[in-house]
């Protein structure tokens, strides 16, 4: 068994290979004069594991090329972060279902696919091979446990993400709630925990994705105004688009952590153990 990787998933690939106790193959990436990419796997095996977060068009193309390079092997594709997964339906006439298009393209050459906390598990139906979604909610819970906070309050940004938050709190049996929006006027909205109070509590907002950070930053500011001792954030996929990380810092968050599904300076949580366990099974 060998592990290969796209250029922007090198850290997670190395950690996964270490967990599996197998070798990490070198992949040579070059570019032709016309800008087209060329790859070469220097050391392959009968069983290949591809770690490929499709965070941009270049990474997506590299994943497709790796799949083709592994032709004839038993190939597992791991998509720690799957780009275009958030458009899982037609919003307007003439639009593609981007998640479906990506799933079909990334199925060719794969014997099985694993995703990590994908936007909607219904997307898995579009893959043309067996596909399974994995969660690292317990790993986020384990990270929160290292903070040694006396009585933290774990919050999801909305009711839809509450189930994810419950998976996080199962590790430490902490209090859990979701944020609830109340519209005060046409332009003024307040956010507060639905059932519990933030006053005097260390609050941690958890979510599967931190996209622009705008809503999370606003929620953090309001929680601090309501008397929270501190506010932190922990998410699976740290996208941080449009200056999202800076927004969160400026909102007064005491800590911002994400996982290595997208490799950032804030990637203090790893998905490698969950991936290794799934591959072994």
User: Sheet of 74-79: strands edge to edge?
Assistant: 23-24, 2-5, 47-51, 74-79, 112-116, 131-134
Q: DSSP secondary structure string, 107-152?
A: TTT-SEEEEES-S-GGGGGGSSS-EEEE--HHHHHHHHHTT--SS-
For residue 29, report the phi and psi dihedrals to the nearest 5 degrees: -110, 125
- Among residues 209, 193, 191, 190, the alpha carbon closest in space to that of 201 is found at 193
* Cα angle 10-11-15, degrees, rounded to a multiple of 5: 115
Catalytic residue among 89, 90, 132, 181: 181
Largest separation between any pair of C-alpha atoms in the chain: 62
For residues 76 and 49, the answer to whether their CB atoms sit within 8 Å is yes
Torsion of CA 24, 117, 134, 168, to 10 degrees: 110
- Cα separations (Å) of 33 from 40, 64, 95, 179, 263? 17, 21, 33, 52, 28
For residue 65, report the phi and psi dihedrals to the nearest 5 degrees: -65, -40
Counts of helices then strands in the chain (DSSP H, E)? 8, 15
Per the annotation, the verdict on 181 as an active-site residue is yes
Active-site residue list: 181
């Amino acid at each position: 068994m060998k592990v290969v990787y796209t250029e922007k998933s090198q850290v997670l690939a190395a950690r996964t290979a270490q967990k599996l106790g197998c070798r990490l193959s070198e992949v040579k990436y070059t570019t032709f004069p016309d800008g087209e990419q060329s790859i070469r796997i220097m050391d392959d095996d009968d069983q290949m594991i591809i770690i490929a977060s499709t965070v941009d068009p270049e990474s997506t193309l590299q994943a497709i090329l790796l799949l083709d390079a592994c032709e004839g092997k038993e190939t597992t594709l791991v998509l720690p972060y799957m780009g275009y997964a958030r458009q899982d339906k037609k919003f307007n006439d003439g639009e593609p279902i981007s998640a479906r298009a990506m799933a079909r393209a990334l199925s060719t050459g794969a014997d099985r696919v694993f995703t990590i906390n994908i936007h909607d598990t219904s997307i898995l139906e579009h893959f043309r091979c067996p596909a399974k979604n994995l969660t690292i909610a317990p790993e986020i819970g384990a990270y929160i446990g290292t903070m040694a906070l006396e009585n933290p309050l774990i919050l999801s940004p909305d009711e839809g993400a509450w189930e994810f938050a419950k998976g996080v709190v199962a590790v430490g049996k902490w209090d859990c709630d979701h944020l609830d929006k109340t519209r005060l006027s046409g332009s003024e909205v307040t956010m507060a925990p639905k059932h519990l109070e933030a006053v005097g509590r260390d609050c941690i907002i958890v979510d599967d994705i931190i996209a622009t950070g705008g809503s999370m930053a606003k929620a953090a500011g309001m929680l601090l105004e309501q008397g929270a001792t501190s506010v932190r954030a922990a998410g699976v996929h740290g996208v941080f688009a449009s200056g999202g990380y800076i927004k969160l810092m400026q909102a007064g968050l005491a800590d911002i952590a994400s996982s290595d599904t997208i490799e950032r300076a804030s990637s203090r949580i790893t998905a490698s153990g969950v991936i290794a366990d799934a591959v072994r099974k």
